[in-house]
């Protein structure tokens, strides 16, 4: 009888050990859907320096814009390009000087400068050479390879004013009213 009791006790202890070791595992599945965002460019216009014509040489009006930001939150890693076009620079007609005066859009050169990736952004290959503007849209900044994240730059602008350019028109009485500056509209697209 002792042997039977001893054998039953060993089996009972073994069964408890097997039951504890074979406890059912628990598993959870965790998921999150990540949607792509937008591809955007935020620009800032420069203020160009004033120029006094000398009748001999091309004069240069220069300026640097505030910080531009390019954000690629699409999550695809696809290439992107910022394209730009400009209208001709025009000094609006005044009440006395009634003919608008122009300087060609091609006289403006935009130099994007260094494009800096933000924290956590891809170290993309970005091409951003100086570009003479045109009335037709053309590539200004191009990223190849994964270029996800945010990138900043502060472009510089240079307007070549020919020696034979007209001065700005006066808004009213010649010599005693404000000058209408030469202005151009720059249009930027990203895709």
Q: What is the extent of the structural domain holding 76?
A: 66-190
Residues contacting 188, CB < 8 A, separation 6+: 41, 43, 82, 83, 84, 140
In a domain, residue 11? The reply is no
Cα 188 from Cα 43, distance rounded (Å): 8
Give pLDDT tens digits for 42-90. 999 999 999 999 999 999 999 999 999 999 999 999 999 999 999 999 9
Whether 145 is covered by a domain: the verdict is yes
> Is residue 77 situated within a structural domain?
yes
Residue 50 falls within a domain, yes or no? no
pLDDT of residue 109: 98
Alpha helices in the chain (DSSP H): 2-21
What pLDDT, in 10s, does the model give residues 88-126?
999 999 999 999 999 999 999 999 999 999 999 999 999
The model's pTM: 0.83
The tally of domains found in the chain comes to 1
Instruction: Yes or no: say if 140 and 128 are a contact pair by the CB < 8 Å rule.
Output: yes
Closest among 73, 69, 83, 79 to 133, alpha carbons compared? 83
């Amino acid at each position: 009888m002792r042997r039977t009791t001893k054998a039953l006790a060993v089996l009972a202890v073994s069964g408890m050990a097997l039951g504890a070791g074979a406890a059912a595992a628990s598993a959870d599945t965790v998921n999150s859907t990540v949607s792509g965002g937008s591809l955007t460019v935020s620009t800032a216009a420069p203020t160009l320096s004033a120029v006094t014509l000398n009748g001999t040489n091309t004069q240069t009006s220069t300026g640097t814009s505030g910080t531009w930001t390019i954000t690629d939150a699409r999550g695809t890693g696809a290439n992107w390009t910022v394209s730009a076009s400009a209208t001709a620079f025009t000094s609006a007609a005044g009440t006395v000087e009634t003919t608008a005066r122009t300087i060609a859009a091609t006289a403006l050169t935009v130099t994007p400068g260094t494009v800096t990736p933000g924290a956590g952004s891809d170290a993309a290959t970005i091409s951003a050479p100086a570009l003479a503007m045109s009335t037709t849209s053309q590539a200004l900044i191009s990223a190849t390879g994964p270029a996800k994240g945010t990138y900043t730059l502060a472009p510089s602008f240079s307007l070549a004013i020919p020696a034979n350019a007209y001065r700005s028109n006066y808004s009213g009485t010649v010599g005693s009213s404000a000058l209408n500056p030469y202005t151009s509209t720059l249009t930027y697209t990203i895709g």
